[in-house]
Structure 1
Amino acid sequence: MSNLDETLSMLKELTDAHGIPANEHEPREVMKKYITPYADEVTTDNLGSLIAKKVGQEDGPKVMIAGHLDEIGFMVTSIDDKGFLRFQTVGGWWEQVMLAQRVNVVTRKGIVPGVIGSKPPHILTPEARKKPVDKKDMFIDVGAISRREAEEFGIRPGDFVTPVCDFTVMKNENFLMAKAWDNRIGCAIAIEVLRQLQNENHPNIVYGVGTVQEEVGLRGAKTSTYKIQPDIGFAVDVGIAGDTPGVTEKEALAKAGKGPQLIMYDASMVAHRGLRDFVVDIAEKENIPYQMDFVPGGGTDSGSIHLTAQGVPALSITIATRYIHTHAAILHREDFENAVKLIVEVVKRLDRDKVNEITYD
């Protein structure tokens, strides 16, 4: 199998895996499978974040590269007498992308398919058609005729629910569609960075991390960073693509296929100036495309990483992705490849003196 085929297989397994916050076992096992061959040690913290350690030099600075394992989804809160499921959103959802969408209810007995129910337009008043349905009024239909039958399917309150969208290579093969790009692409970047560093000499200790519970408060990044105590931190995540109809440059600057985004500012962190400039200089020297961007309404794991212990110089490197926080998102393969290339080059150029220079600039 070619490396390209292996990469697509990895991306498919990562994105098809089911795992909302606090239920990341399945994507963690996929990440573990792919990153273990390139790590000296693979452990977890007590919340379940995966930590793969690769030593370049034993006393070298610690460099953390973190993608988060969790995806946005739902949790069953109750089952009514007719077998319909009420649910709680887990992570950020906008009502207008939810109705009539297929879902998988993940039970101890296995997957139960369902759909978020909706009224047909024929019975809606003109006023009702203009208003989004409130999340609290939505339900999931799993084809059960009673609470008892739904329970016989294995469904219980607390079971988690994920969107349905199989990994798809689009007609233009540079574009890849899947659920959970947010943020299995970050996990894939961490895996691929360790793979490409396996035959490189560098004086650092590199940690490829899959954090948990990012979508509900950057929680796994807190615990995993505390365990690692890194000198430098990178959160690798999705960003917003501003190249679709209706999105203005005031809302999002980046375009899919034009290089990874370096996030100057988001709601969780202002980028560390010294680290940002160091990364930009390397990108320009190596002719790696990149885009400067900002996300005033969101954050990444860098928001927790940079506040750990005495503080960690950190930067978010993201992939411009269309339709994030929906059932189906699209990104560009070359942005993934260039993000990996950039981080590998950064690691190769980091050493204790450079880390000190960046930290105390």
Structure 2
Amino acid sequence: MKKLDETLTMLKDLTDANGIPGNERQSREVMKKYISPFADSIETDGLGSLIAKKEGDANGPKIMVAGHLDEIGFMITQIDDKGFLKFQTVGGWWNQVMLAQRVTVTTRKGEEITGVIGSKPPHILSPEARKKPVEIKDMFIDIGASSADEAKEWGITPGDMVTPYFEFQVMKNDKMLLAKAWDNRIGCAIAIDVLKALKDTDHPNVVYGVGTVQEEVGLRGAKTATAKIQPDIGFAVDVGIAGDTPGITSKESTSKMGDGPQILVYDASMISHRGLRELVLDTADESGIPYQFEAIAGGGTDAGSIHLTANGVPALAIGVATRYIHSHAGILHRDDYENAVKLIVEVIKKLDKDTVARITFE
């Protein structure tokens, strides 16, 4: 592996951490480690979302920048008498990307046990059955145990977390970064680097860098974290669809990796706030920061929960185009990540009381 700089080391630590919805401790601890030097205080909400506060003007608006700590994965539900593990998906999985993939089972004591997702072999299936994707209910996890008792002796128990087995890697083109859990440790990294960029900078507001929990199962942590913060403006930073691979048409996505952060104008959870969106676009144009538009009819981001909190919060989702999301490994472009940080920082510098009041009703 190539020698990693400070940023790449952080990204490796974030993505290598294992954390499905409801079990985000590992990723929360990594985010806490990296964001602490730039925060005035750190706390959590009742569900476990991390909230780091950076004070500019104590009387200024409260600005929330949220990535989510969880990744899609699985939960052990049963151990059969031969030691094979039945599981439940946690978050959205497509069965075609699952079979024969390695996974990590994390026991209650924190031990990590490697397994593989298996099914009935094709050699004994009918010709018709071979043509069809194996259904998730017919899959199991093989950890090499010979019996249920042996699996239990190893510490396996129903409720244990299962995550993709994959290690962060810089590709031959060193702008391309390959890892599991970009959805959404890249958002957590952006929140960290936004606070880092503001460390010695005056800004007319109070900024909250947030790592929410349980986004992949219904934007849950964003509800509780936003209720605790009560922000005036909210940004969700997440991955988005990269439309630059074979077979994707321009009607499906026009986003290209390396062309800048995505401004999400519409998704199933939220219509982007017009006033905030226009401020972001104007700021990007003034600062020479590239960007691209995206609309996703199916799926949503934490902004969907943020904007419905209390009396309503002007909110916007900003994405980093990523290939192969909701699989074992994704690819994103480092420039898009860095430009997302620059854009949010420049917008935050403008968000004083008067600006927030003006855009709220546009």
Q: TM-score, normalised by structure 1?
A: 0.98
Measured against aligned partners, the alpha-carbon deviations of 1:150-196 in whole angstroms (never above 9, x if no partner) come to 00111000001000110010000000010000000000000000000
Amino acid at match of 1:48: G
1:262 counterpart SS class: strand
Per-residue deviation, 1:288: 0.3
What does residue 85 of structure 2 align with? 85
Alignment of 1:10-25 (within 5 A): 10-25=10-25
d(CA) in 1 for partners of 2:69, 2:81? 35
1:131 counterpart SS class: coil
Amino acid at match of 2:354: D
User: Does the 8 Å CA contact 2:68/2:184 hold for their aligned counterparts?
Assistant: yes
Amino acid at match of 1:44: T
Amino acid at match of 2:350: R
d(CA) in 2 for partners of 1:214, 1:351? 29
Amino acid at match of 2:162: V
1:207 counterpart SS class: strand
1:335 counterpart SS class: helix
What does residue 291 of structure 1 align with? 292
d(CA) in 2 for partners of 1:342, 1:131? 45
Alignment of 1:310-349 (within 5 A): 310-349=311-350
What does residue 197 of structure 1 align with? 198
What does residue 37 of structure 1 align with? 37
Measured against aligned partners, the alpha-carbon deviations of 1:89-135 in whole angstroms (never above 9, x if no partner) come to 00000110010000000102300100001344333322112111111
What does residue 128 of structure 1 align with? 129
What does residue 188 of structure 1 align with? 189
Report how many aligned residue pairs link the two structures.
359
The reply on whether 1:238 has 2:236 as its aligned counterpart is no
What does residue 212 of structure 2 align with? 211
User: Does the 8 Å CA contact 2:96/2:133 hold for their aligned counterparts?
Assistant: yes
d(CA) in 2 for partners of 1:350, 1:55? 13
1:201 counterpart SS class: coil
2:319 counterpart SS class: strand
d(CA) in 2 for partners of 1:80, 1:133? 20
Measured against aligned partners, the alpha-carbon deviations of 1:260-295 in whole angstroms (never above 9, x if no partner) come to 000000000000000000000000111100001101
1:46 counterpart SS class: coil
Per-residue deviation, 1:310: 0.6
Measured against aligned partners, the alpha-carbon deviations of 1:273-332 in whole angstroms (never above 9, x if no partner) come to 000000000001111000011011110000000000110000000000000000010000
Per-residue deviation, 1:250: 1.4
Amino acid at match of 2:53: K
Regions of 4+ moved over 6 Å: none
Amino acid at match of 1:204: N
Amino acid at match of 1:92: G
d(CA) in 2 for partners of 1:303, 1:33? 28
d(CA) in 2 for partners of 1:232, 1:156? 42
d(CA) in 1 for partners of 2:56, 2:105? 43
2:11 counterpart SS class: helix
d(CA) in 2 for partners of 1:79, 1:99? 19
d(CA) in 1 for partners of 2:337, 2:127? 44
2:321 counterpart SS class: strand
d(CA) in 2 for partners of 1:253, 1:306? 26
CA RMSD of aligned residues (A): 1.0
Identity of aligned residues (%): 72
d(CA) in 1 for partners of 2:140, 2:82? 12
d(CA) in 2 for partners of 1:122, 1:45? 51
Structure 1 range deviating more: 114-123 or 184-193: 114-123
The reply on whether 1:266 has 2:258 as its aligned counterpart is no
Structure 1: unaligned runs, 5 residues or longer: none
Structure 2: unaligned runs, 5 residues or longer: none
d(CA) in 2 for partners of 1:27, 1:317? 21
Amino acid at match of 2:336: D
2:35 counterpart SS class: helix
Amino acid at match of 1:266: D
d(CA) in 2 for partners of 1:310, 1:74? 35
Q: TM-score, normalised by structure 2?
A: 0.98
d(CA) in 1 for partners of 2:266, 2:127? 42
Per-residue deviation, 1:350: 1.2
User: Does the 8 Å CA contact 2:119/2:138 hold for their aligned counterparts?
Assistant: no
2:51 counterpart SS class: strand
Amino acid at match of 2:14: L
What does residue 154 of structure 1 align with? 155
Amino acid at match of 1:113: T
2:5 counterpart SS class: helix
Per-residue deviation, 1:200: 1.1
Amino acid at match of 1:83: G
